[in-house]
Amino acid sequence: METPLADRPPANAADIPSLDRLLNAPAIAPLLARYGRTQVIATLRAHLDELRQAALAGTLQQARLTEEVIATALAATLADASRLRLRPVFNLTGTVLHTNLGRALLPDEAVRAVVQAMTAPVNLELDLSSGKRGDRDSLVAELLGELTGAEAATVVNNNAAAVLLMLKTLADRREVVVSRGELIEIGGSFRLPDIMRQAGAKLVEVGTTNRTHLADYTQAIGGRTALLMKVHTSNYVITGFTQSVSIAELAALGRTHGLTVAVDLGSGSLLDLTGWHLPKEPTVRETIAAGADLVSFSADKLLGGPQAGLLVGRADLIAKLRKNPLKRALRVDKLTLAALEAVLMLYRAPEFLAERLTTLRLLTRAPGAMQAQAVRLCPIVQQAVGDAYEVTGVTLSSQIGSGALPVGRLPSYGLAVRPVKGKRASLDRLDATWRALPRPVIGRIAEKTLWLDLRCLEEPDEAAFAAQWRERPP
C-alpha cells in the first residue's frame, strides 16, 4: 500500500518539480491562459524558491509538491497580485462626504459622460463652430455662470489649487488681509498660511480668533495690499462671544479702496440646502450677489461632483487667472470636465436634484428606510459574526463630512456590534477582518462598539452587502 503524502518524510530539494515540467502541467494551463506566461513564470519561480528554502530547512512536506497543490498556491498568489488596489468599499462610517473614501459619489449621468469621454474622441479643446482650437474651460464656464450669477469661471484640480492660483496671480509679493478666525487648516495639516507662503503672498492677520470688525480690515490696508480675503470656516464653528464681517461689508470696503475681494467658500453649495431640511450653508450665488469679486469652492463636496476647484467671478480677474502659466499645471483632464458638466446640468432642474444627485439623495435619506434596512440585515450580520458578538439595530447620527457643515447632524439608523461578555472577541480584529472582505466593510469603532451606519448603503447595494455576509461562515 502506498504511504499517504502527509505521512511521508520531509522532501528534499531534488523532489521539487522543475519549472518546465510545471509550465506544461494541465493544472497550470488555465493560469497561463488567464494571467499570461510572463506573470506565471515570475510567480512560479518565487514559489519554487520558497519550496527550496523549506527543503533546506527540513520542513518541506511531500503534499506541497503535487502539481495541483502548486497550481492552487500559484492561483491564490496571482489573484492577490492582480487585484486592483483602488477598490469599492461599503461606507458605513456615517460620513457621507468621506475624504478617505473618495468624497462625493457621481450620479449616473456623470458616469455615462465619463465613459463616453474615455472611449471616444471628444472636443476637449476644439471649437466645433469655428473648427479652431478652443478653451477647455468653455465646456463648463457658461453653466457655472448661469448657476452662480458670475461673469466668468475657470476650473483647476481642487480648491486648494484654486486658492493657490488666485493668490499667485493677484497677490504675488503683496499683502492679503484675512481675519485671524478664518485661517483654516484642512485635512493632512494643510493650512491656508502655507498656501499663501507658496504663492509668494504676505499674510496680514486682523482681528482676534473670535471677533473681527470692519475697522480691523480698514486699518490693515496699505500700499502693498492686493486682496481682502474672506474664508468660509466650513470645517469648524466658533460660538459664543463672536463677531465677523459680512461679505457685503467687505465688498463695500474693497470698492472704496479699489481692492479685490476674494472668498474661499470651501464646500461650495450651489443651492440653499434648507429646502431639503438640511442646515443652512452660504451659496455661491449669494456670495457673488453680496459683492465678492472672486469665489473659489470645491466640486466634490456639497456640489456632488468630481474632484475639482472652481473659480467664478469678474471676467477680467478670471482672464488673468487663465493667463497664468500655473493654470496649465493645475488644469483638469477630460474625464473631470465630462463629469463636472453632467453634474452641473442636473442643477438646471433642482426639483429633481434629490433624486438624481447622489450626494443630496444620501443626505436626505429617510431614517425609516434605514431602520427597515437594519431590521433586514441584523440577523444576517449576527449569523456572520457568531455568538461572540451581539448585533442590534440602533438610532444613530450621521454627518455630512469633508469640511462641510461641521455641526450639522443627520438622523440615521444602523447596527451596533458589541462583544458578548465572557466571550473571546476583539472589535479591532473584527474590524480588520471586515476590511479584508472582497468588498471591504468600513465602519467605526467608538465606545467599545463597532457601529455600522446605513445612510450610505442604498438599496441597490444592499443585496450585494447581504450576499457577502451570507457567504462568510461564522
Q: What is the pLDDT of residues 377-419, one digit of tens each?
A: 999 999 999 999 999 999 999 998 865 555 568 999 999 999 9
Cβ-Cβ contacts under 8 Å for 81 (sequence gap 6 or more): 39, 43
d(Cα 451, Cα 445) in Å, to the nearest integer? Answer: 6
pLDDT of residue 401: 82
d(Cα 321, Cα 3) in Å, to the nearest integer? Answer: 80
416's enclosing H/E stretch is strand 404-419
pTM of the model: 0.90
d(Cα 401, Cα 95) in Å, to the nearest integer? Answer: 5
d(Cα 250, Cα 228) in Å, to the nearest integer? Answer: 7
Is residue 31 a contact partner of residue 75, using CB atoms and an 8 Å limit?
yes
Query: What are the φ/ψ torsions at residue 407 (nearest 5 degrees)?
Result: -100, 0
pLDDT of residue 268: 84
Query: What are the φ/ψ torsions at residue 268 (nearest 5 degrees)?
Result: 60, 75
| Strand-pair partners of 399 | 95, 409
Is residue 394 a contact partner of residue 400, using CB atoms and an 8 Å limit?
no
Is residue 272 a contact partner of residue 305, using CB atoms and an 8 Å limit?
no
Question: pLDDT confidence of 238, banded at 50, 70, 90?
Answer: low
Q: Which residue has the cell 472668498?
A: 263
Mean pLDDT of 173-184: 89
DSSP, res 7: G
pLDDT of residue 183: 80
Secondary structure (3-state) at 367: helix
Is residue 402 a contact partner of residue 97, using CB atoms and an 8 Å limit?
yes
CA geometry: angle at 382 spanning 379 and 386, to 5°?
A: 145
445's enclosing H/E stretch is strand 444-446
**Percent residues over pLDDT 90 in the chain:** 80
- In the chain, what is the straight-line distance between the N-terminal and C-terminal CA atoms, in Å? 39
- What totals of helices (H) and strands (E) does the chain contain, helices first? 19, 15
Task: Domains for the chain: give ranges and CATH numbers.
Answer: 5-82 (no CATH), 90-98+361-470 (3.90.1150.110), 108-356 (3.40.640.10)
CA geometry: angle at 282 spanning 185 and 145, to 5°?
A: 105
pLDDT of residue 384: 92
d(Cα 307, Cα 361) in Å, to the nearest integer? Answer: 19
